[in-house]
Structure 1
Amino acid sequence: MNHLFDRLLQEGNGGERSLTFIPSAELEETEQEIHLKLEVPGMEAKDLNVEVTESTVSIKGERKSESKTEEKGVVRSEFRYGSFERVIPLPAPIQTAHVQANYKNGLLTLTLPKVQSAPQSTVKVNIS
């Protein structure tokens, strides 16, 4: 349980700890591909940095806050702003050169083709 709270709390500039934005993810594996979806609402594609290795996907970004002023009353916001980074381990090796990404309506969708292993074959070896 402590790891969950440590993941949600990040240290700010003054040493205080506060809640931070961490995008939710959904991973689906098929025989040929891995499909990864991340919820990153309120951002634009240009604000996201996606890096892929054979075994992980790293997503970085920053959700910038909008400053609001109100003359009568108090403004309260439960939105989370700030920078985030999430590294997701993949269940199988992927072909990094063929990754496809799409961003629409706050949903980042990655299609990660798996490395196709050569079919295993048995070869008779002659002994001399």
Structure 2
Amino acid sequence: MSDLTKWFDQRRSPFELLDRLFQGEASGAEIRVEQVIDGEALVVRAELPGIDPERDVDVSISEGSLHIKARREEKIEYKERGSYRSEFRYGSFSRSLPMPEGTTQDDVTATYKDGVLEVRVPIPPQAAPPPQSTKINVIRA
């Protein structure tokens, strides 16, 4: 069965197809994110519906990047008159985002609510650049 045939299987309702599209099955395994500055922190919100954050998510900072890795395992069973069908979806997803210079893992916090992982990264204060002086030659006229 080709991939196209699988997608347009007539036993699936149009709502199932839309659900599959919006759950990311048609796209790659990259996590969708939103990044905003909130005061002194960089806030990254990542869409991760249907996961157990304590078991299925790893958040770390290394080499100047925030790394989010997640895996999902989902099983759905359909029982109707005289028939039974089950589906399962599983896979790994990851995303790496550059962080402000000097960011360390020590102060990073993460929360998960309603399918959204929110990671707060304090922005380190930037060292003031050294004052620049330029020698100006004065020419007398």
> What TM-score range do you get, normalising by the shorter chain?
0.5 to 0.7
Are the aligned partners of 1:95 and 1:114 in contact in 2 as well (CA < 8 Å)? Answer: no
Could you tell me which runs of 5 or more consecutive residues in structure 2 were left unpaired when the two chains were aligned. Answer: 1-24, 133-141
Which one has the bigger strand percentage? Answer: 2
Match of 2:136 in 1: none
Sequence identity of aligned pairs in percent? 26
Q: Among 23, 31, 43, which residue is 2:31 paired with?
A: 23
Could you tell me which runs of 5 or more consecutive residues in structure 1 were left unpaired when the two chains were aligned. Answer: 1-17, 124-128
Match of 2:111 in 1: 102
Match of 2:44 in 1: 36
SS of 2:75's partner is: coil
Match of 1:65 in 2: 74
> Structure 1 runs of 4+ off > 6 angstroms?
none
Are the aligned partners of 1:48 and 1:61 in contact in 2 as well (CA < 8 Å)? Answer: yes
Match of 1:116 in 2: 125
1:15-38, Cα deviation, whole Å (9 max, x unpaired): xxx745432100013562211000
Could you say if the C-alpha distance between residues 49 and 82 of structure 1 is closer, same or farther in structure 2, counting changes exceeding 3 Å? Answer: same
TM-score for the superposition, normalised by structure 2? 0.59
Paired residue type of 1:24 = R
Task: Give the Cα–Cα distance (whole angstroms) in 2 for the partners of residues 63 and 48 of structure 1.
Answer: 9
Once the 2 structures are TM-superposed, how far is the Cα of residue 71 of structure 1 from its aligned partner?
4.5
Which one has the bigger helix percentage? Answer: 2
Q: Alpha carbon RMSD of aligned pairs, Å? A: 3.0
SS of 1:97's partner is: helix
Match of 2:57 in 1: 48
Task: Give the Cα–Cα distance (whole angstroms) in 2 for the partners of residues 27 and 75 of structure 1.
Answer: 40
